[in-house]
């Protein structure tokens, strides 16, 4: 029981915290909020005034031949005008509510996307892309639906309840008391439903995110799925997630669907109570100086409906708000994630970089209890070609991530031109490197757009010269529109080798002072690779280069070869020196050429 209470308290605290965060965004639109509340009050006042006019009209029908048509006509004209004004104000109120809602969601989405831009790579690596996308897109939409319903119905509902009670008390305090006595039943039902829907809608939102992530992964890697005949397993996993989503959605919908039947039951109880009490009062006051008239009873019955209707709406709003708050809490979790370590105020702008790099007693691990790199020391002189080799998982790509400061070292330091990279601006550090990775990255646009990313002001002559240097010019000219050929995201119909040539051309165009080549020619045929190696040799001339390669034949010309194993440099030297040692490198090299 204690655990249940603790869990309930935590949930309530979480809901209140999320609601406070939402209200901070809503406060930015204070003027429109005041207008919305004012229009809600006017709308309710005019709506509640209408039953009194109808009651007055009924009282003008005394009996056969005793009907005041002129009076009824005047009342109907007045009622029509009031209904018209009410409709106009309600339209304005709904327009304002839409504006507030979608501006709030826009602000939250903007903040979420800005946070994604400054999140550490560790967060992106640890969370499925589809789940992050689901938070920013689907969860924000669900939040908008709940928030809009809240603005549209919550204010008017509360004002309607208060206004109805006021009019009821002004007509008959006895009937008003009957209505008030039944009110706690509606509140109890609303609370019962609200307490059980928040958790279920949150689970639904999380499961939907898992499903989006899985679909994103399968579609993005469909070739791999088919190549390994993994279709049946993928379908089974999708079915499991889909069944889980159906189950939690069904539970959430079950409790939320209790709203209408439960509140309708309360409505009927209230209506019956008002009708019975009103009829008894009519009989009791018949012949009195100020009798309780049929018109007044009609107005009270109308108010009974008006009074209970907001409870229906508020119960529905509460259900939707549970869903909205559950989605909002996932959005705020993303927004409140710790960003990457900010640059210091006195961060150095790296200029005139020659290529001097130092790794001083560097230690790093992705997971605290699983050590990877420990006590790594390396001194790189300008213009040196540093090759990094070793078995899979030894830390080769991790060194690249550390050099680019995608991750920060746990201890030790990395310096460029004697400056600790943690004290340098990320932009100046990363613009000092040119990267060609095994995994290519291209965006929707023309071939030229994809080449000039790092140098937008490049001339056509410079682009063509870079493409010729990378041996990409010949295949580009064979495309339908040459350099103006539009490709889709990730290269579309281009082969993997052609995509990699474009990425190499991109670096050839910029020629930064330092280069990182991580399996840069892994998808290129041997004949083209030989040509590109010549281009690389020219490109690397005078530039510090870090080369990660599995094919050891590609790094024989490196000035220094670092042989890594389990996060440590176990051998170091040039190709001939390492072969002469007949150690780990020699075994790796000979194993690739063993017959």
Domain positions in the chain: 19-335, 357-592
Average pLDDT, integer, range 290-303: 77
Q: What pLDDT does residue 569 have?
A: 79
pLDDT digits (tens, 9 = 90+) for 473-518: 888 898 888 899 888 877 777 887 788 888 888 888 888 888 888 8
C-alpha span between 310 and 587 (Å, rounded): 80
C-alpha span between 430 and 353 (Å, rounded): 11
Q: What pLDDT does residue 1 have?
A: 44
Quick one: pLDDT band at residue 10, thresholds 50, 70, 90? low
Comparing 263 with 476, the larger pLDDT belongs to 476
Q: What pLDDT does residue 3 have?
A: 46
Comparing 537 with 93, the larger pLDDT belongs to 93
State the chain's mean pLDDT as an integer.
80
Average pLDDT, integer, range 317-329: 77
Q: Considering only CA atoms, which of 321, 397, 364 is closest in space to residue 153?
A: 321
For the chain, what percent of residues have pLDDT higher than 90?
Answer: 2
Q: Residue 223 class from Cβ within 10 Å (0-12 exposed, 13-18 middle, 19+ buried)?
A: exposed
The DSSP result for 404-452, as a single string, is TTSS--SEEEEEETTEEGGGB-HHHHHTTEEEEESS----SEEHHHHHS
pLDDT at 34 over 70: yes
Q: Is 249 helix (H, G, I), strand (E, B) or coil?
A: helix
Average pLDDT, integer, range 341-348: 82
- In the CATH scheme, what architecture does the domain 19-335 have? Up-down Bundle (1.20)
Report CA 333 to chain centroid distance, whole Å.
10
C-alpha span between 150 and 144 (Å, rounded): 10
Q: In what order do the strands lie in the sheet with 373-380?
A: 373-380, 357-364, 411-416, 419-420
> Looking at the chain, how many residues does it have?
595
Quick one: pLDDT band at residue 455, thresholds 50, 70, 90? confident
Average pLDDT, integer, range 209-238: 83
Average pLDDT, integer, range 134-163: 79
C-alpha span between 327 and 329 (Å, rounded): 5
Q: Residue 466 class from Cβ within 10 Å (0-12 exposed, 13-18 middle, 19+ buried)?
A: buried
* DSSP secondary structure letter of residue 513: S
Q: Is 409 helix (H, G, I), strand (E, B) or coil?
A: coil
Comparing 66 with 437, the larger pLDDT belongs to 437
Q: What pLDDT does residue 88 have?
A: 94
Q: What pLDDT does residue 376 have?
A: 81
Q: What pLDDT does residue 327 have?
A: 82
Report CA 7 to chain centroid distance, whole Å.
26
* 296-300, 430-434, 485-489, 572-576: segment of lowest average pLDDT: 296-300
Angle at 294 between CA 290 and CA 295, to 5 degrees: 90
Quick one: pLDDT band at residue 289, thresholds 50, 70, 90? low
C-alpha span between 385 and 387 (Å, rounded): 6
C-alpha span between 540 and 349 (Å, rounded): 24
Instruction: Please say whether the beta carbons of 363 and 409 come within 8 A.
Output: yes
Helices (H) and strands (E) in the chain, counts: 21, 14
Q: Is 291 helix (H, G, I), strand (E, B) or coil?
A: coil
Kind of pairing, strands 61-63 and 357-364?
A: unpaired
Q: Is 3 helix (H, G, I), strand (E, B) or coil?
A: helix
SS (HEC) of 318-364: HHHHHHHHHHHHHHHHHHCCCCCCCCCCCCECCCCCCCCEEEEEEEE
pTM, two decimal places: 0.64
C-alpha span between 39 and 520 (Å, rounded): 64
pLDDT digits (tens, 9 = 90+) for 383-407: 888 888 877 777 788 888 888 888 8
**Fold adopted by 357-592:** Rossmann fold (3.40.50)
């Amino acid at each position: 029981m204690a655990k249940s209470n603790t869990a309930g308290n935590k949930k309530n605290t979480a809901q209140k915290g999320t609601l406070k965060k939402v209200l901070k965004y809503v406060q930015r639109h204070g003027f429109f909020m005041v207008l919305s509340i004012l229009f809600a009050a006017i709308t309710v006042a005019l709506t509640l005034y209408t039953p009194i006019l109808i009651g007055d009209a009924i009282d003008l029908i005394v009996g056969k031949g005793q009907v005041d048509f002129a009076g009824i006509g005047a009342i109907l004209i007045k009622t029509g005008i009031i209904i018209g004004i009410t409709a106009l104000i309600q339209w304005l109120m709904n327009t304002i509510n839409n504006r507030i809602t979608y501006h709030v969601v826009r602000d939250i989405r903007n903040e979420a996307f800005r946070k994604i831009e400054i999140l550490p790579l560790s967060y992106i690596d640890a969370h499925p892309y589809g789940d992050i996308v689901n938070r920013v897109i689907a969860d924000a939409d669900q939040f908008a639906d709940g928030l809009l319903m809240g603005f549209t119905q919550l204010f008017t509902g509360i004002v309607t309840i208060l206004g109805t009670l006021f009019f009821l008390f002004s007509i008959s305090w006895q009937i008003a008391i009957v209505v008030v006595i039944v009110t706690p039943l509606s509140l109890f039902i609303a609370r019962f439903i609200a307490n059980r829907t928040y958790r279920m809608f949150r689970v639904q939102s999380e499961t939907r995110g898992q499903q989006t992530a899985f679909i994103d992964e399968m579609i993005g890697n469909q070739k791999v799925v088919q190549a390994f005949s993994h279709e049946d397993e993928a379908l089974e996993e999708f079915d499991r997630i889909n069944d889980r989503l159906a189950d939690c959605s069904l539970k959430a919908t079950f409790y939320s669907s209790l709203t209408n039947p439960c509140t309708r039951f309360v409505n009927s109880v209230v209506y019956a109570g008002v009708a019975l009490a009103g009829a008894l009062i009519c009989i009791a006051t018949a012949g009195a100086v100020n009798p309780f008239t049929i018109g007044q009873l009609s107005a009270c019955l109308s108010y009974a409906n008006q009074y209970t209707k907001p409870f229906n709406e508020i119960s529905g709003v509460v259900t939707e708000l549970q869903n909205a708050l559950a989605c909002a809490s996932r959005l705020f979790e993303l927004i409140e994630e710790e960003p990457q370590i900010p640059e210091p105020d006195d961060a150095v702008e790296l200029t005139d970089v020659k290529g001097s790099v130092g790794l001083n007693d560097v230690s790093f691990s992705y997971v605290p209890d699983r050590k990877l790199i420990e006590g790594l020391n390396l001194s790189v002189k300008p213009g040196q070609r540093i090759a990094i080799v070793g078995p899979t998982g030894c830390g080769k790509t991790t060194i690249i991530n550390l050099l680019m400061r995608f991750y920060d070292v746990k201890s030790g330091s990395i310096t460029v031109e004697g400056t600790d990279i943690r004290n340098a601006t990320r932009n100046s550090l990363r613009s000092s490197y040119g990267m060609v990775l095994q995994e290519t990255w291209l965006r929707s646009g023309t071939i030229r757009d994809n080449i000039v990313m790092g140098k937008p002001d490049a001339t056509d002559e410079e682009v063509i010269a870079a493409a010729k240097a990378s041996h990409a010019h010949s295949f580009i000219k064979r495309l339908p529109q040459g350099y103006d050929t539009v490709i889709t995201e990730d290269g579309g119909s281009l082969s993997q080798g052609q995509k990699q040539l474009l990425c190499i051309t991109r670096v050839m165009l910029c020629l930064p002072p330092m280069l990182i080549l991580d399996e840069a020619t892994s998808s290129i045929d041997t004949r083209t690779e030989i040509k590109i190696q010549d281009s690389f040799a020219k490109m690397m001339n005078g530039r510090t280069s870090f080369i990660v390669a599995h094919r050891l034949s590609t790094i024989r010309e490196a000035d220094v070869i670092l042989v890594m194993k389990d996060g440590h440099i176990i051998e170091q030297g040039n190709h001939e020196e390492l072969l002469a040692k007949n150690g780990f490198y020699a075994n790796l090299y000979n194993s690739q050429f063993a017959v």
